Amino acid sequence: MVNRDKLTGYLDDYLKISEIKDVSNNGLQVEGAEKVHKVAFAVDACLDAFGKAHQAGAQMLVTHHGLFWGEPVMLRGVHRRRAAFLLKHDISLYSVHLPLDVHPEVGHNVQLARLLGLEVTGTFGEYHGVILGVLGKTKEPVTLDELVQTLQQKLAAKMTVLSYGPRQIERVGIISGGAASMVDQAADAGVDLFLTGEPSHSAFHQVAERGLNVVYGGHYATETLGLKALSAHLEQKFDLQTQFLDIPTGF
């Protein structure tokens, strides 16, 4: 068991949420029970996740996509039902967006690099003053097909592949989620392959004309690894249970 404020204070510091500019209101978005025995993790703050967290006996839910994104939102309709469920069942909601993408230990991007056995060699991809992506190098050249097969097996997700670059892959750029608009920055970084989550029609011709390989691993799938890594970290750091709630969206 750990005190809610001690846990959220640790997360604030560990994830450096005050240092990273973001449209998400990162941190404790809804205050629940003071004593936390179990923390659930999910990609999205939604009623399905809230219900599963309650069924799992969690006093706190950590999500990548939270309920509050800078602008005030009226407590009406779905938003009201979501907030009401959390308050009724005394469940805290802690959300962390860009700080979890970029974290050097448990971040989505570095976890994807480790999943592929890459040596992290640097960073790239500026977004509103925040450097989002990691650059990685394979131990030896691999084919695009081999890399895609590894991703499909380990992420258990369907890949969308645009193959306009070299057949042998050594240099990989990674930005989880919806970073298709950063194709030019990936190409400028000199990668053989850009791995991100969600496909974009408007990026297609840029990929083809820049001669780049792009693998879209799914917005959801590429943003599960950081949550799982954070879950394992908290289990080791504190005397509490954790559980990842798998609620895929198909995107």
* Final residue in a domain of this structure, among 60, 78, 96: 96
One domain, residues 160 and 88: no
Can you point out the beta strands (E) in the chain? 2-3, 27-30, 35-36, 38-44, 60-65, 92-95, 119-127, 130-143, 160-163, 168-174, 193-196, 213-216, 241-244
Determine the structural domain holding residue 149 and report its residue range. 102-222
Task: Return the CATH number at 218.
Answer: 3.40.1390.30
User: For residue range 132-184, what is the model confidence (pLDDT) as tens digits?
Assistant: 999 999 999 999 999 999 999 999 998 999 999 999 999 999 999 999 999 99
Q: Do 118 and 183 reside in the same domain of the chain?
A: yes
Q: Within this chain, do residues 57 and 168 fall inside the same structural domain, yes or no? A: no
CA distance 33 to 12: 18
Mean pLDDT of the chain: 97
What token pair was written down for 169?
């892959």
Q: How many domains are contained in the chain?
A: 2
| 81 found inside a domain | yes
Q: Residue 239 pLDDT > 90, yes or no? A: no
Q: Let me know whether 116 and 199 are in one domain.
A: yes
Residue 140 shares a structural domain with residue 184: yes
Cα 60 from Cα 40, distance rounded (Å): 6
Dihedral angle of Cα 108, 114, 119, 121, to the nearest 10 degrees: 0
Whether the CB-CB separation of 131 and 155 falls below 8 Å is answered with no
